[in-house]
A = this chain, B = another copy of it.
Amino acid sequence: MNETPSSQSLLFLTDEQLRKGIEAMFFAYRGFTADPDRILQEKGYGRAHHRAVHFIHRSPGTTVNNLLSILGVTKQSLNRVLRTLIEDGLVESRVGPEDKRERHLYLTEAGSVLERELTEAQRDRMRMAYKAAGPSAVAGFRQVLEAMMDEDIRRQYEALRDKTT
């Protein structure tokens, strides 16, 4: 109790507090990816495959270009990942019904199985963290994360959210 009340209320903006936030973000992200990474490695896939599978599941029928802008990688990079997923029968690429230049991406049954396995692992950890922290902490967690995104990324995040809300 040796600090004045006004310094208390701004304490969350001190360099020390910010540094703690930076490190928390770093270590938490490791935990966040650890479980799916383990599963992926067993099957000879990487994080890039996870991301592609996640967002195809999330928005079935999405085009390659859509996926590119969501993932923020080059088409060559995505294509390499996509090709192995298609070859392995996890993803199906259908010619667009309106515009035949476009390819619409869907998970196959096998792809859905993998998606569920990965998501469940990641969700379990998220659920534990949410449970431990409680609802109001979760609200704060989401608020800070959303404020941390780039402008254009946040727009995509919110567009994604709207699509199934």
Contact = CB atoms under 8 A, between A and B. Distances in A.
Contact of A141 (B72, B141, B153): B141
Interface stretch (A75-83, A85-93, A102-110, A129-137): A129-137
Interface of A is mostly: helix
A95 interface: no
Given A140-B136, A140-B140, A150 B34 contact: yes
How many monomers of this protein are in the complex?
2
Contacts of A94: none
B130 A23 contact: no
B30 A126 contact: no
A137 B142 CA distance: 8
A130 B18 contact: yes
Contacts of A139: 12, 137, 140
Interface of A: 9-13, 15-32, 34, 51, 54, 58, 72, 119, 122-123, 125-150, 153-154, 156-157, 160-161, 164
